[in-house]
Amino acid sequence: MIRRSQFLLGFLGATLALASVAWAGGPSDRHHDVLKKMLTSMENITKILGDVKDEESSQKAVDGLKKEAKTFIDLRKKAGELPPPSPEEKVKVAKEYMPKLEDTVRKLLNEIQRVQMLTPTRAILFELRDVFKAEKKK
């Protein structure tokens, strides 16, 4: 079982990766598109976890969590491959996305903590373990 501190540290790494995309938004719509999709993926994960109330509902959530985890990981990789932005664009994108990012992360963390409190449902959080691993630098 993942310890809460390990899970949250890993999540912090994933959140910082997403925040770096927000700060690294580029002059093209590609950066905005990837960031919007990453936020949507996090919102979807939050919704799936929000539907978990007991062991039965947690089993139903597994496929959705796997799908969204893969989506988020693919988007994070895509974001890392985009070219660096101009300094002006960094400021613009940060102003546009940081409030939404902070709100989305807060809601997701609340759902993760709630699911961790439900003993029979904790195991589904393993489906998110790769989402919260820090991306290895090349």
Residue 13's pLDDT is what? 53
Residue 52's pLDDT is what? 93
Residue 21's pLDDT is what? 53
What angle, 0 to 180 degrees and rounded to 10, lies between the N-to-C axes of helices 87-117 and 29-50?
10
Digitized pLDDT (tens) for each residue of the chain, 138 residues in all? 445 545 544 554 555 555 555 544 444 567 778 888 989 999 999 999 999 998 899 889 999 999 999 999 999 888 888 887 678 877 777 788 888 988 998 999 999 989 988 867 778 887 787 777 766 655
- Contact partners, residue 32, CB within 8 Å, separation at least 6: 25, 93
Query: Positive or negative, the Cα torsion across 118, 124, 129, 132?
Result: negative
Residue 11's pLDDT is what? 53
Residue 46's pLDDT is what? 96
- Asked if 77 contacts 114 with a C-beta cutoff of 8 angstroms, the reply is no
> Phi and psi at residue 93, in whole multiples of 5°?
-70, -40
DSSP string, 65-98: HHHHHHHHHHHHHHHHTSPP--HHHHHHHHHHHH
